[in-house]
Amino acid sequence: MKNSSNGASKSLWQYVSQSDFKVPEAALDRTVKNRIFTFLHILKAEESKESKKSKPLVSKDETSALDESNLDRIITPLNWKIPSEALNDALKNWLESKTATDPFKVVLGPPFIGHGKILTTWARSQNFKLINPPSADQILNQDFSYLEQFKQSESVWVIANLEKLYLRHTKGLALVREIFDGLFAGKMGRGVLGCNSWAWSYLGYVFKGDSFSVLIPQAFQAEQMTEFLTERISGGAGSRTVFRQMGDGNLVLVPHSLAKSKSQTEPPKSSWIKYMSEYCRGNPGIAIEYLRKSVRKMATEEESKKPKKPRDNFTDENALWVIPWNKLQRPGTPSDMNRDHARVLYTLLIHGGLPAKLLCNLLPFSVHESLQFLQFLQAAQLIEKSYEIWRVSPFAFPVVRDCLYAEGYPSGL
Q: What is the mean pLDDT of residues 46-58?
A: 51
Residue 384: what are its φ and ψ, rounded to 5°?
-145, 160
| pLDDT of 133 above 80 | yes
Q: What are the pLDDT digits (tens) for 327-381?
A: 999 999 999 999 999 999 999 999 999 999 999 999 999 999 999 999 999 999 9
Select from 328, 349, 383 the last residue of a domain: 328
Same domain? 101 vs 70: no
Backbone CA torsion sign across 151, 88, 225, 274: positive
> Does one domain contain both 171 and 93?
yes
CB 170 within 8 A of CB 206: no
Residues 91 and 4 in one domain: yes
Final residue of a structural domain among 220, 253, 280: 220
- Within this chain, do residues 27 and 72 fall inside the same structural domain, yes or no? no
Q: Are strands 318-322 and 241-245 parallel, antiparallel or unpaired?
A: parallel
**Quick one: pLDDT at residue 30?**
45
Range of the domain at 45: 1-55+78-220
Alpha helices in 197-250 (DSSP H): 197-206, 222-233
Q: Are residues 98 and 175 in the same domain?
A: yes
Task: Compute the distance between CA of residue 255 and CA of residue 237 in angstroms, rounded to an integer.
Answer: 11
**What was the pLDDT predicted at 41?**
44
Q: Let me know whether 43 and 99 are in one domain.
A: yes
Domain check: are 26 and 61 in the same one?
A: no
284 part of a folded domain: yes
Instruction: Give yes or no: residues 2 and 102 share one domain.
Output: yes
Q: How far apart are CA 109 and CA 161, in angstroms?
A: 10
Give a yes or no: residue 228 inside a domain: no
Please indicate, yes or no, if residue 382 is contained in any of the structural domains. yes
d(CA 306, CA 170): 64
Looking at the structure, tell me whether residues 15 and 134 fall in a common domain. Answer: yes
Q: Mean pLDDT of all residues in the chain?
A: 84
Whether 204 is covered by a domain: the verdict is yes
Distance CA 119, CA 124 (A): 9
Digit-coded pLDDT (tens) for 254-295: 988 887 665 556 677 889 999 999 999 999 999 999 999 999
- Residue 413 domain-assigned? no
Asked whether the predicted pLDDT for residue 25 surpasses 90, the reply is no
Question: Among residues of the chain, what percentage have pLDDT more than 70?
Answer: 80
In a domain, 308, yes or no: yes
Q: What is the pLDDT of residue 240?
A: 85
Q: Which amino acid is at 326?
A: N
Residue 66 belongs to a domain? yes
**CATH code of 351's domain:** 1.10.10.10
The confidence score (pLDDT) of residue 269 equals 85
Return the CATH number at 25: 3.40.50
Question: In terms of domains, do 202 and 312 share one?
Answer: no
Of the residues 220, 251, 285, the one at which a domain ends: 220
| Same structural domain, 262 and 358 | no
pLDDT band at 44 (very low <50, low <70, confident <90, very high): very low
- Domain check: are 200 and 286 in the same one? no
pLDDT, tens digit (0-9, with 9 covering 90-100), for 292-317: 999 998 766 655 556 566 666 666 67
Residue 117 lies in a domain: yes
pLDDT above 70 for 62: yes
Q: Are 270 and 251 in contact (CB under 8 A)?
A: yes
For the chain, the domain total comes to 3
